[in-house]
Amino acid sequence: MATSAEHNHSVSTKPSYDDVNTTAVYMVGIISAILTIVIISVVQGFTYQMMDGVASKKADKYHELWVAPVIKEQKEHLEGGDGITPISAAMQLVEQKYGKGKTDNN
């Protein structure tokens, strides 16, 4: 019969339970990857939303700046205010005067 010292040091044929459970490791890895992607997407969405809010607040304050009269003047030039020919009318005049269909021999 084997003594207790020999019994403790002998190699057992039973399976050992300190093996790595690969199924659990894979599941934890997959769940961690999915959670990481979700968290990154949520944080990125909040960041873009805050940046859009800041940009819209800046756009609202834009009209209060000293640039507003300059913009108004430029719009008047484009629309033809104060004796200025609008761009659309000027384009028609140029086309009439220098267009391809011009048969004038001047």
Distance CA 86, CA 12 (A): 98
Give the per-residue pLDDT at 104. Answer: 53
Is residue 3 very low, low, confident or very high in pLDDT (cuts 50, 70, 90)? low
Give the per-residue pLDDT at 86. Answer: 73
Say how many C-beta atoms besides its own lie within 10 A of residue 62's C-beta.
11
Report for 10-24, 26-40, 45-59, 75-89: range of highest mean pLDDT: 26-40
Give the per-residue pLDDT at 73. Answer: 80
* Mean pLDDT, the chain, integer: 78
Domain map of the chain by residue range? 20-62, 65-99
Does the reported pTM lie above 0.85?
A: no
- For the cut 80, the answer to whether the pLDDT of residue 79 exceeds it is no
User: Averaged over 46-59, what is the pLDDT?
Assistant: 84
User: Averaged over 27-43, what is the pLDDT?
Assistant: 97
Please count the helices (runs of H) and the strands (runs of E) in the chain. Answer: 4, 0
Task: Give, as one character, the DSSP assignment of residue 13.
Answer: S
